[in-house]
Amino acid sequence: MFTLKITVLFTVIVPLHYDFCWCRCADAEYEMDGQCCPMCAAGNHVYRHCTDDTSTTCAPCLKFSFIDEPSGLTKCFDCTVCDANRGIRVKKACTRISDTVCEPLDQFYCTERIKDSCRNAAKHSECSPGQYIKQAGTPSTDTVCADCEADTYSNGSFSSCLPHTQCEALGLTETSPGTRSSDRECGNTTTASIALSVTVTLIIIITVISVFTIVHIRKKKQSGSGKLY
């Protein structure tokens, strides 16, 4: 019985196994019309398939086209164009064996990536007044903004919120309250009062002189009129 099993193994199973293996092409070959043809190297495409008597005929990829690995392809791939309208530019130019590598423009970050190349990018977000830049944007991430806390402010371009100026500590008085987007404004009350007093005094003096001048002119006219009679 054991001898029968051994006989079946070598006469049936083993031949089937080797037939199965031999019908597949090797890793560096491709199948064409039931025949295994040698692949063309990276940077080349198949110009003519192999036959029983000839090997595969290969031709180099033309400019602005590529194939990045051995294959049985009859056409090369077109090189990717890094379009500024998509927020990207050339980082590494296309060659016969590699596609163009694109990267985001300045102040842009990648939103779609294929392998090591960026396909689309968007402009970094700008923080609004009342917010600060918590994390600056990078070629791969957007800007992160955060709101200012009470008694601090930022115009949106600061890396941190600044505390409002303390007018009293400077010996000044508050003339305009601070907000989350602007600082508190301070002024000198004494100086303002002096300026106001000087202005009022000048107005009074000018008014008095004007009235005195008008009265004096009228008196002269009346005196001149009496002499004529």
Instruction: Tell me how long the chain is.
Output: 229
Query: Cβ neighbours of residue 213 under 8 Å, at least 6 residues apart?
Result: none
Q: Which parts of the chain have pLDDT scores under 50?
A: 1-21, 228-229
Which CA distances in Å does 116 have to 57, 66, 98, 105, 139?
A: 32, 16, 11, 16, 13
CATH of 80-123, one of 3.40.50.300, 3.40.640.10, 2.10.50.10, 3.40.710.10: 2.10.50.10
- Asked if residue 61 lies in contact with residue 67, where contact means CB atoms within 8 angstroms, the answer is yes
What is residue 189's predicted lDDT score, i.e. its pLDDT? Answer: 63
What is residue 191's predicted lDDT score, i.e. its pLDDT? Answer: 59
* Third-level CATH fold of 131-187: Tumor Necrosis Factor Receptor, subunit A; domain 2 (2.10.50)
pTM for the whole structure: 0.64
Tokens of 114: 């294929």
CATH of 24-78, one of 2.10.50.10, 3.30.110.30, 3.30.60.50, 3.30.420.40: 2.10.50.10
Place of tokens 């090997």: 55
Domain 24-78 and domain 80-123, same fold? Reply is yes
Domain ranges of the chain: 24-78, 80-123, 131-187
What is residue 210's predicted lDDT score, i.e. its pLDDT? Answer: 84
Neighbours of 135 (CB within 10 A): 12
What is residue 19's predicted lDDT score, i.e. its pLDDT? Answer: 43
